[in-house]
Amino acid sequence: MSNLIGRSIGAYRVEKKIGEGGNSDVYLALDTVNKQIVALKVLRLEHHSDRKQVERFWRGGHSARALQHPYIVPVHDAGLADSRYYIAMEYMEGRSIEDVLAEQNGPIARPLTLHYLEQIAEAVDYAHSRGVIHRDIKPSNILLSADRRTAYLTDFGIALLTGQETVTSSGSFIGTPEYISPEQIKGYKADVRSDIYSLGVTAYQMLSGKLPFDGPPVTILYQHINTPPPSIRRVNGRLPTGIDRPINKSLAKKPERRYQSAAAFVRDLHGATAGRPAGWRLWGGLALVAILVVSLGFWAAGGRNGAISPTVVVTREVSPAPGEVVQPPVVTSTPIPTVVPTSTTVAPATTAPTARPSRTPPTSTETPRPASATPAAGVLQLLVPADGADIRAAFGRQTFRWSWDQPLADDQSFELRFFPEGSDDFLAPFGWRKESRADDVDLNNLPAGTYRWRVLVVRGIDGILQEEIAVSEPFILVWGR
């Protein structure tokens, strides 16, 4: 494993390692441009040769970067620099809900739980309105502010844009076994109701201190599909009698029987726990402050000590058809799925972050399918690398330039992509630029082969192809990774 401490990745100087996930490491880093501390998530080198891993990592950063909401941890930047894929996000001083649950070894105070869930529900519904499905909502992905008054949703590492498929070409699919929805286990496409299910499991754990399903990964996956959750009041008898209904509805096996929004789920939780109609609002003025102060007294600040919930990759030889009945696993003959941790733990801050910098508009994660290769009207041209070097003989970093005389709209950006000759699937986008007409690329990140490079104008969260600026002639790379 390479040591990045003291090195720079683009504009970010790595200070120390503060966490890790299944395919990446997280570092405390200094943004030398904006002069602020960030959390820098870096894809490990051993995963660079896996196109799916690279694409998923980049998509996660891209999806989160496009989301600007008070209860979503902001992603400031994502791309490729110095031969490393990275995601730069705001560094949060507080800890996660997972840490609090582990520290207390029991439920979180009910008023505080509802307060946090209300904030996360707003974040979830906002992401859904922008076409983003999180697919991995769980306590470790809910971070708290230093004063524990605000909850933030983070880690869109396996996020899905609406309309994309969840199952990989090999038939594998990913998710955290304790929180994954039945349809994701079966290999069906995830949608907003899949996130509602994961939020329901999270709410169950926050209110009771226990998971609805526990055991080895195969057992948990079987229970998600076939076993009703135990009554939450049997786990925590102090909860009101009406709490089972909203919890059970959020955990319905069939997506159509669940809530259709996170807000509707939390409204019903409020109504059930308060003994009032579902639309009644619990929080207001000094009452919120008083309840928070009392609730916060139940625990003292401390280090991160919560266990990390792994993410499981479950492989099926054949993806099930709609309506297929999934047979229960036989423990003696069914192989245990490969477990790949994706939870990211982050240590408390030693330096308080500064104000959030402005973020550029989002770009596409989907390969464009232009109707025509004819460039739009105007002065537009693909230029050779700035130094005029022969691409076939050059090594290392090159600066690719293009010209374009038309202004970009607020929701548009340039994007540089490399396509293997004869394929419409790009390996990975090499950054996006709002104003500049140039991009630096380390060609050693591409395998040997023949490529076309394109500059695109993309728009919006779904990456709608606005215009294709130009398409290059093929050029040859005579080296690989």
Task: Bin 78: left if φ > 0, else alpha if -120 < ψ < 50, else beta.
Answer: beta
Does residue 253 carry a pLDDT above 80?
A: yes
Q: Judge contact between 463 and 449, C-beta under 8 A.
A: no
Residues 217 and 308 occupy one common structural domain: yes
Q: Does residue 347 form part of some domain?
A: no
Q: Does residue 423 form part of some domain?
A: yes
The residues that bridge with 464 in the sheet, in sequence order, are 459
- Tell me what the pLDDT averaged over the chain comes to: 72
Here the CATH number for the domain that contains residue 191 is: 1.10.510.10
The residues that bridge with 450 in the sheet, in sequence order, are 476
Residues 122 and 234 occupy one common structural domain: yes
pLDDT of residue 303: 40
Residues 305 and 177 occupy one common structural domain: yes
Kindly give, in sequence order, each residue whose CB lies less than 8 Å from that of residue 350, ignoring residues fewer than 6 positions away. Answer: 28
Supply the residues annotated as catalytic. Answer: 136
Which of 17, 5, 63 minimizes the C-alpha distance to 41? 17
Here the CATH number for the domain that contains residue 459 is: 2.60.40.10
Q: Using alpha carbons only, how large is the chain's radius of gyration in Å?
A: 24
3-state secondary structure of 384: coil
125/396 Cα distance (integer angstroms): 43
Residues 216 and 122 occupy one common structural domain: yes
Phi and psi at residue 464, to the nearest 5°: -65, 125
pTM greater than 0.85: no
Kindly give, in sequence order, each residue whose CB lies less than 8 Å from that of residue 456, ignoring residues fewer than 6 positions away. Answer: 364, 368, 414, 415, 417, 465, 467, 468, 469
Residues 123 and 210 occupy one common structural domain: yes
Phi and psi at residue 412, to the nearest 5°: -115, 150
Residues 327 and 386 occupy one common structural domain: no
Residues 46 and 125 occupy one common structural domain: no
Residues 244 and 297 occupy one common structural domain: yes
Q: Does residue 256 form part of some domain?
A: yes
Query: Averaged over 413-434, what is the pLDDT?
Result: 66
Does residue 437 carry a pLDDT above 80?
A: no
469/369 Cα distance (integer angstroms): 14
Dihedral sign from CA coordinates of 44, 46, 49, 52: negative
Q: Does residue 462 form part of some domain?
A: yes
Buried b / exposed e along 33-51 (16+ C-beta atoms within 10 A): ebebbbbbbbbbeebbeee
| DSSP states of 309-332 | PPEEEEE-SSPPPTTPPPPPP-TT
Does residue 188 carry a pLDDT above 60?
A: yes
Residues 65 and 106 occupy one common structural domain: no
Does residue 174 carry a pLDDT above 70?
A: no
Pick from 185-194, 249-258, 289-298: least confident: 289-298
Q: What does DSSP assign to residue 1?
A: -
Q: Does residue 350 form part of some domain?
A: no
Q: What does DSSP assign to residue 159?
A: -
Q: Judge contact between 184 and 166, C-beta under 8 A.
A: yes
Query: Averaged over 61-89, what is the pLDDT?
Result: 87
What are 119-170's pLDDT values in tens digits?
999 999 999 998 888 888 999 999 999 889 999 998 875 655 444 443 433 3
Which of 150, 153, 131 minimizes the C-alpha distance to 141? 153
Show which of 90, 116, 131 is a domain's final residue. 90
3-state secondary structure of 120: helix
Show which of 288, 308, 340 is a domain's final residue. 340
Give how many domains the chain has, as a whole number.
Answer: 3
Which of 124, 102, 105, 304 minimizes the C-alpha distance to 198? 124
Show which of 90, 107, 128 is a domain's final residue. 90
Helix (H) / strand (E) element for 291: namely helix 285-296
| DSSP states of 235-263 | H-TTS-GGGHHHHHHHT-SSGGGS-SSHH
Q: How many C-beta atoms surround the C-beta of residue 416 within 10 A?
A: 20
Residues 387 and 444 occupy one common structural domain: yes
Q: How many residues does the chain have?
A: 481
Here the CATH number for the domain that contains residue 63 is: 3.30.200.20
Dihedral sign from CA coordinates of 167, 169, 173, 174: negative
Phi and psi at residue 419, to the nearest 5°: -120, 125
Say if residue 210 is exposed, middle or buried (CB neighbours under 10 Å; 0-12, 13-18, 19+). Answer: middle
Confidence of residue 19 (pLDDT cuts 50, 70, 90): confident
Helix (H) / strand (E) element for 182: namely helix 182-186
pLDDT of residue 171: 41
Looking at the chain, the whole-number percentage of residues with pLDDT higher than 90 is 36
Residues 147 and 222 occupy one common structural domain: yes
Residues 241 and 296 occupy one common structural domain: yes
Q: Which domain holds residue 17?
A: 8-90
Q: Does residue 359 form part of some domain?
A: no
Q: Does residue 408 form part of some domain?
A: yes
262/119 Cα distance (integer angstroms): 10
pLDDT of residue 418: 75
Does residue 358 carry a pLDDT above 80?
A: no
Query: Averaged over 304-312, what is the pLDDT?
Result: 37
Q: Does residue 364 form part of some domain?
A: no
